Amino acid sequence: MLEVVDLHAGYGPINVVHGISFTVPDHSVFAVMGHNGAGKTTLLKTLLGLLPARSGTITFGGEDITKAKTHQRVAKGMAYVPQGQLSFPQLSTFENLQLVADGRAGGAAKIDEMFTMFPALKKFETRKAGLLSGGQRQQLSIARALITEPQLIILDEPTEGIQPNIVAEIEALIVQLAETGLSVLLVEQHVGFALEASAEYAVMASGYITSRGSGGREAVGSVLAAMTI
């Protein structure tokens, strides 16, 4: 679904991402882990077209999108859920979903589908998004992205600031999305969560991939070691 080959990116004279290569398979979860400053944000900006690649290629669905604009990538089926459970706080849960659904074929049905997938959002559909819990706002962010019917969803630190009992729900949802045909790129610092949710992973440190392998709790030790490089 997404293939990144020898990607370099940065700001001004500074190169931040150094020759990154990885593949997000169809219908699978691929995790990119690393501490703050590892280069994850720069990588995401480049994948989304917010920052130009200095060299290397980004292929999405078999098409080279290295030089495509952000809106073109979204139109091709890429969705992004940013860090921080972002929403329109003065609008209700329903209105937040409606902003994305309006103008789309079957928009009302898509909102109903999201309420089925996220029962907590249905319960609070008239509540202002700013009054929702962190976990509920995160679910709302993911639901808004899913209304666009993406082929790939990029999740940036989805567990940040989320209470532990909700983390398990987010993990189960991510696995479910992959099982129902979506590809997921998960960018995460929470090692245990990322490995449980993903089929494959890569670890970034100082702008390089320092380790990669298959997901699962047994990889925790090697991932933590790679994150200290």
pLDDT above 90 for 32: yes
What is the structure's pLDDT at 229?
60
Rounded CA gap, 17 and 183, in Å? 23
What is the structure's pLDDT at 204?
92
What is the structure's pLDDT at 165?
78
Per-residue pLDDT tens digits for 113-124: 999 989 989 999
Into how many domains does the chain fold?
Answer: 1
Q: Does residue 126 or residue 223 have the better pLDDT?
A: 126
DSSP state of 20: E
- Spell out the residues 6+ positions from residue 45 whose beta carbon is closer than 8 angstroms to its own: 9, 51
What is the structure's pLDDT at 181?
86
Residue 44 lies in domain: 2-227
The domain that contains 59 carries what CATH number? 3.40.50.300
Both tokens of 134, joined, read: 């962190």
pTM for the whole thing? 0.89
Give the residue among 106, 109, 138 at the shortest CA–CA distance from 121.
138
What is the structure's pLDDT at 208?
93
What is the structure's pLDDT at 72?
95
Per-residue pLDDT tens digits for 137-173: 889 999 999 999 999 999 998 888 777 777 888 888 8
